[in-house]
């Protein structure tokens, strides 16, 4: 038997009910139930529908994961759960379930950060993360460059989006093109038949005076919308595949360029890419090419581990256990706007100062968290 921790991870920050089981760096189960079809007709995730779907899917998904892993609940060494960021009501369902299992089984509970989990998951695919890890984190709510000396306790943002996240831009452009929701996968698909050089869309924040590691995709999104509207107004057909490919090219060009610049400046020899947008086939291909040219090793998990899942949460929980980080207490709050620097939430009243490489005022963060609005923040 291995002495690596056997951890079950629960993810409910958005519309995926994810339950994963890992032993150390080994993936044993990755069960996901998605409510995406229930949101499609609204053109976006409806928080109340997501929460209800999590509630219905939670126990069956946990049972499916245990069966897939071939372990009994009593064998688990710990329970990890996404404490934030994400939709408040959705997070609450996962946090409540994790507390119930941890309490019922008498096992430690780890409330972890969704964003750090998107990075940590790569350990299941490519082994231990380098320290520091340079990560480009691109999801529905975040586009950030992170330097993480220790993914369980020390994550430093080098830059982030100043407006729309990359995934958000994919979703909005898909809506403009009438391609439905979520936009990322369908744009990825349609772009394959298009010409990425057909239209030269703007590359935001890439001027010599612009912040080197911040991103902006709002201008690009508007440029695409104007271009499409102009075609429609002129009564001309919209070349959907070309627009999708040209838009996707602009996003991936900026993301990879800035990420590689950061790797060089920080003297790291690799680039990790995580989050739902890391499933994008063009981003993966372009990153592969540009990293090879720059002499960098690219680490991107397989697409299923890039989009939201429970295995990523389990992997960060297992790493916390392996490194002896203090667990959260059972008063753990869900924090819809948990900052990326807070890899782990200790809970109310206990565990302060354990496993944190930052100097934020926790009491302030936690009391604010309890007051956060439902629906505020997305992962």
Kind of pairing, strands 154-160 and 6-11? unpaired
The minimum distance between CB 135 and ligand KG4, in angstroms, equals: 13
The minimum distance between CB 224 and ligand KG4, in angstroms, equals: 14
Collapsed DSSP state (helix, strand, coil) of residue 367: helix
DSSP 332: P
The minimum distance between CB 331 and ligand KG4, in angstroms, equals: 25
Backbone angles phi, psi at 31, to 5 degrees: -100, 130
**Does the footprint of ligand KG4 cover residue 87 (CB under 6 A)?**
no
Contact segment (CB under 6 A) with ligand KG4 among 29-37, 62-70, 270-278, 317-325 equals 270-278
Asked if 6 and 73 count as a contact pair (C-beta separation under 8 A), the reply is no
**Does the footprint of ligand KG4 cover residue 204 (CB under 6 A)?**
no
Taking CB within 5 to 8 Å according to partner kind, which of ligand KG4, Zn ion, none is near residue 164? none
Closer to ligand KG4 by CB, 206 or 281: give it: 281
The minimum distance between CB 147 and ligand KG4, in angstroms, equals: 20
Which residues in 225-246 are b (16+ Cβ under 10 Å) and which e?
eebbeeeeeeeeebbbbbbbbb
Position among 171, 214, 242, 253 found at the interface with ligand KG4 (CB under 6 A)? 171
**Does the footprint of ligand KG4 cover residue 250 (CB under 6 A)?**
no
Position among 101, 170, 217, 247 found at the interface with ligand KG4 (CB under 6 A)? 170
The helix (run of H) or strand (run of E) holding residue 38 is helix 36-40
Position among 143, 280, 315, 328 found at the interface with ligand KG4 (CB under 6 A)? 280
DSSP 328: B
**Does the footprint of ligand KG4 cover residue 141 (CB under 6 A)?**
yes
Rounded alpha-carbon distances, angstroms, from residue 279 to 109, 139, 140, 285, 306 = 29, 10, 12, 11, 6
Position among 12, 139, 280, 348 found at the interface with Zn ion (CB under 5 A)? 139
Position among 24, 275, 327, 377 found at the interface with ligand KG4 (CB under 6 A)? 275
**Does the footprint of ligand KG4 cover residue 116 (CB under 6 A)?**
no
Contact segment (CB under 6 A) with ligand KG4 among 37-45, 232-240, 271-279, 352-360 equals 271-279
Taking CB within 5 to 8 Å according to partner kind, which of ligand KG4, Zn ion, none is near residue 333? none
Tokens standing for 62?
């946990």
**Does the footprint of ligand KG4 cover residue 253 (CB under 6 A)?**
no
Position among 11, 30, 122, 188 found at the interface with ligand KG4 (CB under 6 A)? 188
Taking CB within 5 to 8 Å according to partner kind, which of ligand KG4, Zn ion, none is near residue 167? ligand KG4
3-class secondary structure per residue, 250-304? HHHHHHHHHHHHHHHHHCCCEEEEECHHHHCHHHHHHHHHHHHHHCCEEECCCHH
DSSP 136: E
Taking CB within 5 to 8 Å according to partner kind, which of ligand KG4, Zn ion, none is near residue 184? ligand KG4
Taking CB within 5 to 8 Å according to partner kind, which of Zn ion, ligand KG4, none is near residue 277? ligand KG4
Among 79, 104, 95, residue whose Cα is nearest residue 348: 95
Report the chain's terminal Cα–Cα distance, integer Å: 36
Interface with Zn ion: number of residues (CB under 5 A):
3
- Counting Cα atoms < 13 Å in the Cβ hemisphere of 355 gives 26
The helix (run of H) or strand (run of E) holding residue 109 is strand 109-113
- The C-alpha atoms of residue 181 and residue 15 are separated, in whole angstroms, by 12
The helix (run of H) or strand (run of E) holding residue 82 is strand 78-84
Position among 16, 308, 319, 335 found at the interface with Zn ion (CB under 5 A)? 308
Position among 47, 94, 140, 159 found at the interface with ligand KG4 (CB under 6 A)? 140
Say how many C-beta atoms besides its own lie within 10 A of residue 141's C-beta. 23
**Does the footprint of ligand KG4 cover residue 122 (CB under 6 A)?**
no
Contacting residues toward ligand KG4, per CB under 6 A: 14, 139-141, 167, 170-171, 182-185, 188, 275-277, 279-280, 307-308, 378-379
Contacting residues toward Zn ion, per CB under 5 A: 139, 308, 379
């Amino acid at each position: 038997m291995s002495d690596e921790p056997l951890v079950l991870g629960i993810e409910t920050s958005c519309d995926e009910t994810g339950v994963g089981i890992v032993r150390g760096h080994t993936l044993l189960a990755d069960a996901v139930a998605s409510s995406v079809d229930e949101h499609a007709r609204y053109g976006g995730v409806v928080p109340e529908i997501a929460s209800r779907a999590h509630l219905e899917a939670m126990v069956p998904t946990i049972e499916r994961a245990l069966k897939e892993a071939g372990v009994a609940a009593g064998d688990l060494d710990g329970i990890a759960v996404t404490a934030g960021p994400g939709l408040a009501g959705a997070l609450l369902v996962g946090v409540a379930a994790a507390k119930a299992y941890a309490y019922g089984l008498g096992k430690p509970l780890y409330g972890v950060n969704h964003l750090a989990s998107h990075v940590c998951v790569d350990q299941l695919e490519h082994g231990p993360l380098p320290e520091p890890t340079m990560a480009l984190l691109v999801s529905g709510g975040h586009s950030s460059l992170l330097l993480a000396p220790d993914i369980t306790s020390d994550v430093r943002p080098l830059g982030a989006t100043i407006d729309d996240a990359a995934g958000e831009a994919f979703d909005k452009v898909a809506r403009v093109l009438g391609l439905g929701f979520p936009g990322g996968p369908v744009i990825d698909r349609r772009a394959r038949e298009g010409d990425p050089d057909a239209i030269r869309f703007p590359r935001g924040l890439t001027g010599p005076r612009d912040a080197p590691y911040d991103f902006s995709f709002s201008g690009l999104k508007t440029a695409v919308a104007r271009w499409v509207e102009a075609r429609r107004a002129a009564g001309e057909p919209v070349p959907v595949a070309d627009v999708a490919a040209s838009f996707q090219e602009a996003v991936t060009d900026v993301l990879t360029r800035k990420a590689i610049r950061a790797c060089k400046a920080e003297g790291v020899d690799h680039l990790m890419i995580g989050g739902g947008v890391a499933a994008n086939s063009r981003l993966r291909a372009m990153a592969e090419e540009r990293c090879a040219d720059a002499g960098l090793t690219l680490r991107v998990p397989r697409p299923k581990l890039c989009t939201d899942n429970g295995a990523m949460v389990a992997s960060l929980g297992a790493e916390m256990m392996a490194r002896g980080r203090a667990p959260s207490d059972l008063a753990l709050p869900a924090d819809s706007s948990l900052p990326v620097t807070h890899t782990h939430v200790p809970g109310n009243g206990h565990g302060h100062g354990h496993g944190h490489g930052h100097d934020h005022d926790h009491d302030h963060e936690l009391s604010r968290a309890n007051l956060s609005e439902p629906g505020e923040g997305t992962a």
